[in-house]
Structure 1
Amino acid sequence: MWFRSALFCVFAVVLALAGALIGHAISYDFASKIGAKSVDNILNVLASSMLAVTTFSLTAMVSAYSGATSNITPRAVQLLIEDSTAQNALATFLGSFLFAIVGIIALSTGLYGETGRVILYAGTILVIVVIVVTFVRWIEHIARFGRVSDTIERVERAAMGAVHGMAQRPRFGPRERIAIPDSATKIHHTGIGRVTYVDLAQLADVAEDAGAEINPVALPGTLVDPARLLAWTTATLDDKQVQSIRDAFTIEHNRTFDHDPRFGLVVLSEIASRALSPAVNDPGTAIAVIEAGTRVMARILRHKPDPDRSPPAGVNVPPFALPDLLEDLYRPIARDGAGTIEVGVRLQKALAALQHIDEGARADCAAVATDALSRAHPAFDSAADAERLARIHARYWPAGG
């Protein structure tokens, strides 16, 4: 945001210098015809109005962040902060204010006469055009900025982007215990935080130097600490190589969406859980989340890793376990939506859709669907609702089938 504002300020300084240095090349008659004398008044109006518009825009953005934090989920706020349209709008308005201030200061120096004002006048007209276009876009954008539906779409897009960068397809079946030889060299991190990125190229360089495979264990999103295994290898490593492996893992305090598809699913489930709370009681939003999350899960099941993004030789990257992904998305919704027949039915149908996309996911989807059914039955006040949900479950997962 500061970069765009700085560009406007640099633009104003360049115009002021250009007016002083090359303004004499413009004829006086031409300058008098186009009304360059009025640039003083225009800049004064621009300075006062842009300060008010900037304050208004900043207030609207802060209100959207606050609303998302209290009514949706705090984890989605970072997507609103990264919104390019909002950043462009605020930077444009602030930069225009700075442009007007620099222009007024330049005019007050008296370095150039009437002809030099023409250059500043032309630049002011250009800035006004940019302001009008940006303001129209901002009005259209702010009507939905930070709303629940808008936030769900943002989280879905972020999760889809993370899926595109996955190194492998998900692995079906329950989580497997990692078999690590007793003689293996185990690398732990000295800090505490979340893995946000793994530099596979750097790990491959270490593997080539050591002459053995590097096996990272902590995928993006994993909470690491001095007791949590980061990676292991059968080779004997020196201190420099161990530190190089640690440096390949970017550790931050909070999870990010870029390389962590599980985080997107977690945030979607949090939005649904907030909507299903007694204070909100909005099953429609929960159903919208289920549909968005199911689209992400379908993308994960259909995912074919890009050869250019595949792990380099010497690095063995473990895949995400599908049951973990399913539980991240559906289990909180099944827990908080127990007793709401609309949510229960949508959950069963969503899981049934996933098993038809990839037959290998059938057992994992059936386990999550059975868990959702077991949570819903005791919470129903109506026997008819319980019977209907059981009938729908049996339609997709018949007993003994």
Structure 2
Amino acid sequence: MSEPVEKAARMSSRWRWLMRLLFRRIWFRAALFSLSSVMLALLAAFIAPFIPYEISTKIGSDAVDNILGILASSMLAVTTFSLTAMVSAFSAASGTITPRATQLLVEDPTAQNALSTFIGAFLFSIVGICALSTGIYGTSGRVILFAGTILVIAIIVITLLRWIGHLSSFGRVGDTIDRLEKVTQAAIDRSGYMVTVLPAAGPNTRGRCSVHSDKIGYITHIDLKALDEIAEQLGCAIDLTVTPGAFVTPEREIAWLDRGDDKSASAIRDAFTFDHHRQFDHDPRLGLIVLSEIASRALSPAVNDPGTGTGIAVLGAGVRVMAALLIEDRDGGVGSAHVTLPAIRIEDLLDDLFRPIARDGAGVVEVAIKLQRSLAEIAAIAPAAHGLLAVRAADALARSQTAMTSAADLECVRGVYRSYWTGRSPDTGATRSPLKDDE
């Protein structure tokens, strides 16, 4: 591989992805705020010579000491309370929602900012008390420390008020569903994948070189900018065979190109980020899978929430996500100028979201009816997929016929199915639009 290609690989944008992951780590925010607080406490000793003596005499010698003592004791208690609240939310989400949803709660910026603020304020007060005991501040230094203390208290009050309001919904089922919908929509916007109704044709492999993975794990990120620069320098197109969320082994091809060598293959492999677990950022299918897991957990006998607040809410969020995937123009599925991403089959999306709900909610009339309507709404958005959606609707009806014990409930589901999928009302025989009726 030529030197320009190696340079293009080195100048990839992967560092931006890694920095984004770093910023979402709770320890990073806590360490950053703690370091800033310590620097603020020590900075007073260096600014002290520039403070006029008249201002220094107006601050009592014990004012700062007392405030810092109160701050240190109260922040330790508040930090302990915040940690307890966060761990309780994580445990509740793992036990009653789905374990994979805890990833979104751990990365919640409001919770991370609250914990970082409280830990940083505690360290600020401890460092300030230690520095005061050594006498390095002097009279002028106490003024700066006092001003910094007032600033820290204002930040604490604002953060605490936001944290208290945030706790009212943090870790709840509805909040988690909203988070999943939001992060899945963001993944759709980043990816630009094409959703295909017909079976997706694989890349042309005749006379081309394949690149295999050198690791085992889930693909969490693909640096399309680096791949585009490599393809431009090589003067050929790169066709990817995998998308983020795919589990790969060294036996699986991840890309095809017209020409290349060991160095170019190594540079292409370096553009892929692997992990032991899937990530939501570039993987819309993971969002749909976790949404269906939430509905399945709610419909289980142990939880006994028959869809009134969870299963139906998940179906509504799923329709919005599917609409975002289907409405937008994604012709070609092109990831960049010289790199082509494989298309996502709509069958896979439908199975990810609807099959678990159809299985676990087959005996619940409210969920069965909502499922039929959700499939009809998607069919109205994507008419080309009407046949595939009709198959899923018929499968859901067959499951309900097996699972339901009430003949009246089953007849309601059959009526809704005939209404939406035969195009005629079971009562009047009039043609009906799939989108006229709602809950």
TM-score class, shorter-chain normalisation, is over 0.9
Question: What TM-score, normalized by structure 1, do the two folds share?
Answer: 0.92
Q: Which amino acid aligns with 2:357?
A: I
**Which residues in structure 2 correspond to 1:292-311 (within 5 Å)?**
292-305=317-330, 310-311=334-335
Q: Which amino acid aligns with 1:40?
A: D
Pick from 410, 413, 418: which aligns with 1:394? 418
Secondary structure of the structure 1 residue equivalent to 2:195: coil
Q: Which amino acid aligns with 1:53?
A: V
- Count of aligned residue pairs for this structure pair: 398
1:137-182 alpha-carbon deviations (Å, 9 max, x no partner): 1011011100111111100101111111232431113x34536545
Pick from 266, 269, 272: which aligns with 1:246? 269
d(CA) in 2 for partners of 1:238, 1:164: 33
Secondary structure of the structure 1 residue equivalent to 2:191: coil
d(CA) in 2 for partners of 1:179, 1:3: 42
Q: Indicate the residue corresponding to 1:367 in structure 2.
A: 391
The 3 A distance-change label for structure 1 pair 4 and 220 is: closer
Q: Indicate the residue corresponding to 2:359 in structure 1.
A: 335
Secondary structure of the structure 2 residue equivalent to 1:338: coil
The 3 A distance-change label for structure 1 pair 224 and 19 is: closer
Q: Indicate the residue corresponding to 2:13 in structure 1.
A: none
* Structure 1, unpaired ranges of 5+: none
Q: Which amino acid aligns with 1:266?
A: I
Secondary structure of the structure 2 residue equivalent to 1:250: strand
State whether structure 2 residue 402 is matched by structure 1 residue 378. Answer: yes
1:242-268 alpha-carbon deviations (Å, 9 max, x no partner): 112222222111111111111100000
d(CA) in 1 for partners of 2:55, 2:349: 69
For residue 11 of structure 1, report the CA deviation from its aligned partner.
4.2
**Which residues in structure 2 correspond to 1:249-288 (within 5 Å)?**
249-282=272-305, 283-284=307-308, 285-288=310-313
What RMSD in Å do the two structures reach over aligned CA positions? 2.3
Q: Indicate the residue corresponding to 2:157 in structure 1.
A: 132
d(CA) in 2 for partners of 1:396, 1:238: 55
d(CA) in 2 for partners of 1:43, 1:380: 65
2:30–2:120 Cα contact (<8 Å) kept: yes
The 3 A distance-change label for structure 1 pair 8 and 117 is: farther
2:191–2:335 Cα contact (<8 Å) kept: no
For residue 57 of structure 1, report the CA deviation from its aligned partner.
0.4
1:164–1:303 Cα contact (<8 Å) kept: no
Pick from 83, 90, 109: which aligns with 1:65? 90
Answer with 163-172 or 123-132: which moved more.
Answer: 163-172
State whether structure 2 residue 68 is matched by structure 1 residue 43. Answer: yes
d(CA) in 2 for partners of 1:151, 1:320: 25
d(CA) in 1 for partners of 2:228, 2:82: 47
State whether structure 2 residue 189 is matched by structure 1 residue 164. Answer: yes
d(CA) in 2 for partners of 1:84, 1:369: 39
State whether structure 2 residue 260 is matched by structure 1 residue 237. Answer: yes
d(CA) in 2 for partners of 1:215, 1:24: 65
1:320-343 alpha-carbon deviations (Å, 9 max, x no partner): 111111110000000111111111
d(CA) in 1 for partners of 2:46, 2:338: 61
1:194–1:223 Cα contact (<8 Å) kept: yes
Answer with 72-81 or 10-19: which moved more.
Answer: 10-19
Secondary structure of the structure 2 residue equivalent to 1:335: helix
1:36–1:121 Cα contact (<8 Å) kept: no
Pick from 134, 146, 151: which aligns with 2:176? 151
1:339–1:381 Cα contact (<8 Å) kept: yes
Of all paired residues, the percent bearing the same amino acid is 53
The 3 A distance-change label for structure 1 pair 26 and 357 is: same
State whether structure 2 residue 377 is matched by structure 1 residue 353. Answer: yes
d(CA) in 2 for partners of 1:204, 1:11: 39
Question: What TM-score, normalized by structure 2, do the two folds share?
Answer: 0.85
d(CA) in 2 for partners of 1:187, 1:29: 73
